[in-house]
Structure 1
């Protein structure tokens, strides 16, 4: 029965399972960024629909909304699409835009819920994204640390 040595097969070009893990981590992170981008786009559509009076029965239409709602609606309707573009193209303004949008939403629906109402879904999704982002950052840190340790040996 022939063996690999008899067939003159060179296996040095194949990647090991250890090399596949970083690629999988990178792919998962890319999927995560796409999901966050889609969430930002859906949020932007929601705020634009509020401004135009399409959602909430027109109660938050820009011309009849209370001033405090107008300010938040306009800021988020402009920031969310820009944040989505920044995340999609992996620019730093995407991350900072998302941090700003999340902070505004936590203030509005967490601290000022008497004026804006509770929206636990916004808070839960934002908190989940923060946790996932920190997990990815920790995984990338560990990967770099392992690469540096392998380079020293």
Structure 2
């Protein structure tokens, strides 16, 4: 086998890379569900007060509209393992943490979503650090 042929062979993924891929794909599915939830809210398919765009207060309109677009976009990026997927997810997660953590009188209390975003962000950061350390160790 030539050197060119050997260079084109895919490298084996480490367990940390496999775990990161699994985490990103699981987060992608969750983002898709959240995105659909925001679209349901905006389009008024759900019965209830303030569950339609024209009946929502302005603060909900300003929050739900970008999140309805960005969550499915983040889902695509995370599923494809694109570098911009986690960035878009982080923007969505940050927006929800601000909504439910700092303005509960407007958006309601949802501590579970804040904890979930924090856990996913922590796992993502931890896995990225472990992958970086593993690559640095293998270079030496």
TM over 0.5: yes
Structure-2 separation of matches of 1:110 and 1:102: 11
Q: Which moved more, 1:92-101 or 1:66-75?
A: 92-101
- Shift of the 62–80 alpha-carbon distance from structure 1 to 2, 3 Å rule, reads same
Q: 2:36 matched to which residue of 1? A: 45
The range that moved more, 140-149 or 73-82, is 140-149
Q: Is the Cα contact below 8 Å between 1:60 and 1:69 reproduced in 2? A: no
Match of 1:76? 67
Aligned length: 130
What is the CA-CA distance between 1:26 and the residue it aligns to?
Answer: 2.1
Which secondary structure state, in structure 2, belongs to the residue aligned with residue 57 of structure 1?
coil
Gaps of 5+ in 2: 1-10
Higher-Rg structure is 1
Quote the offset at 1:62 in angstroms.
0.5
Q: Which structure has the higher relative contact order (CA within 8 Å, separation 6+)?
A: 2
Residues in 2 aligned to 1:56 and 1:70: alpha-carbon distance in whole angstroms: 17
Q: CA deviation at 1:25?
A: 2.2
In 2, Cα distance between equivalents of 1:96 and 1:25: 20
Which aligned pairs between 1:113-152 and structure 2 lie closer than 5 A?
113-149=104-140
Runs of 4+ in 1 over 6 A off after TM superposition: none
- For residues 123 and 30 of structure 1, what CA distance do their matches in structure 2 show? 22
CA distance in 2 between partners of 1:91 and 1:25 (Å): 17
TM-aligned CA deviation for residue 63 of structure 1: 1.1
Closer, same or farther: CA 56–140 of 1 in aligned 2, 3 Å: farther
Alpha-carbon contact 2:21-2:81 (below 8 Å) kept: no
Q: CA RMSD in A?
A: 1.8
Runs of 5+ in structure 1 lacking a partner? 1-18
